[in-house]
Structure 1
C-alpha cells in the first residue's frame, strides 16, 4: 500500500528529527491501512523505546517479530535492547541467541551480539559479555557505529561483577 508506505516514511523522518509524538501518529495511521506490517510495527516500537516507554516498545517489537514469522530480526534485536532496560536480561539473551543462530545480515548480527553482551552485563555474566565484546571487536569492526558500541560496552563492563557459584 503506497499510502501506508508514505506514512511509514513520514513517521521515520519525523522521528529522526526527534518528533516522536508526530512520528507515532504517522505510524499508527500507516497501521490502520496495513495492520500487519512488521516494519511499521517495529518503527513504532523504536519510537516507544526512545520515549522510554519500554512496555509498549516490547509489545510492538514482539508483534512485529511474530508477524514476520521470526524473520524480521532487527525487531528482535531491538526487543533485546528493551528487555535490558526493564532488567529482563534472560529474555534479552534468549532472543539474541535466536537471532545469532538464524540471521545472516552482518549489521543485524553485530547488533545482536552488542545487545546480548549488554544483557550479559546487566545479569553480571561478565565472562560471557567479555567473550561477546571480543567477538564483536574481531568480526564487526567495519560495521557502522560499532566502535561506539564497543566503547560503551567496555565502559559498562567496569561495573560488571561476576557472581561466584
Structure 2
C-alpha cells in the first residue's frame, strides 16, 4: 500500500503571469516547488532583450505529500491542482528530471502547445541526448520535431531534434 507521506510531483494551475511569484512563495513556505523557465528573446520598440519566461503558462510544479495539499492551495494565486481521472495528476519523477536536464543544455528550446486536435503520426524513438530511449509521435511538417507527452497535463512538449537522432518504431 502506498504511503500518504510519499512526496510526488503535481502540477498546479496558477493565475496568468503569476508562475514565478507563486514559485517563490511556495519555496518560502518550505514546499518543494519548480517553475521551469527558459530564456526567450523579446523585441521592444527600442531594443531586444533576453528574458526568462515560464515554460508552461499558468503551471507550477510542486513535490509534496498528501498533508501539504491545502498549504499549496492556500497560496495566493494558486487556483487548483491539475486533475486527471478525477484525482490530482501525479507527474513522474523521470519526466520532471528530463525537462530539467534538457533545459540545462545550451540553446535548449521547447515549445508548448495544447494536445487538443492532433492526430497521431509515426511513433519514433530518440537515440541520442537526454531524451534517449524516449518514444514520441512525429507530427506534420516535422522531420525535426518529436512530441513527448507529459501524462495527465493535457500538454505536449515539442522538442526539436535533427532527423538523424530518430528512428521509426
Q: TM-score, normalised by structure 1?
A: 0.30
| Greater C-alpha Rg | 2
Richer in helix (by share): 1
Richer in strand (by share): 2
Q: Which has the higher contact order (CA 8 A, sep 6+)?
A: 2
